[in-house]
Homo-oligomer: A and B are copies of this chain.
């Protein structure tokens, strides 16, 4: 998937590593939120995102499919940024757990 929106922010040199990291996670949302014009993801777009961009962390997420499916129609339902962030948090918690 060509992802032109993932290029660096002009001011990203000034950001700390953590701020740049958060910016990357945000840009990733915008990158896949094609139908919702960068404002929301469909469940199918989220599945593509997780499969392509989180191939390793997805292993720790458990039942992602059921989580996504409960959001409604795979091509029409709209997942807001907050829901995306929560799902990334599930991936992070899974990753954190594996490191213990």
Contact = CB atoms under 8 A, between A and B. Distances in A.
Interface of A: 6, 14-26, 28, 52-57, 81-82, 85-86, 88-89, 91-93, 95-96, 99
Given A82-B89, A93-B81, A24 B15 contact: no
Contact of A22 (B16, B20, B55, B92): B92
Main secondary structure of the interface of A (DSSP, over half): helix
Contacts of A81: 92-93, 96
A85 B86 CA distance: 8
A55 B16 contact: yes
Given A15-B57, A22-B91, 14 more contacts: A6-B17, A14-B56, A16-B55, A16-B56, A18-B25, A18-B28, A18-B54, A20-B21, A22-B95, A26-B95, A26-B99, A82-B89, A85-B92, A85-B93
A2 to B, nearest CB: 15
A94 B24 CA distance: 14
